[in-house]
Amino acid sequence: MRPRGGEFSVSLELRASLSRSEDPEKVLKAMKNLLGEGECRVVNETGTITVSSSSRRCLERIREQLRDRRVRSAARRLFLTRSEGGSVSIMLNRQAATKGIVALCNREDESPLGPIYLKLESDHLGTLMDWLTAYEVW
């Protein structure tokens, strides 16, 4: 059953590996550039930074970018092919993220320093994907 009014819970996780030469603060800033307003938790472990949240507001910037850059259809196809159960995992270009641009990657090598991995989980994943890609059934 679809939730009414577009209400649904979401859990998101952004994760990026660090090379020895990278400044962890710059990588974290790139990751935060992808997120909208909302509560998030940052874990900086050796070699990996993880940002997680259960706030849908954190996805607002990604949603706006998909709309503004006119890549909603491509994003929807990618979400559908990468979804499994109640989750979907995609890759985002790290260099584009430093400029606040959401750029989807099909392969890891499309982001020379390695991609930022985005994992979304929801009990209503289809509704979440519809909301992110502004998909409407006519």
Domains of the chain: 9-133 (3.30.1440.10)
13-37 pLDDT, tens digit each: 999 999 888 899 999 999 999 998 7
Digit-coded pLDDT (tens) for 28-69: 999 999 998 777 888 888 889 999 999 888 999 999 999 888
Percent of the chain with pLDDT over 70: 93
Report the distance separating Cα 114 and Cα 70, nearest Å: 24
pTM, two decimal places = 0.88
Q: What is the DSSP string of 43-100?
A: EEETTEEEEEE--GGGGHHHHHHHHHTT-HHHHHHHHHHHEETTEEEEEE-HHHHHTT
Neighbours of 44 (CB within 10 A): 14
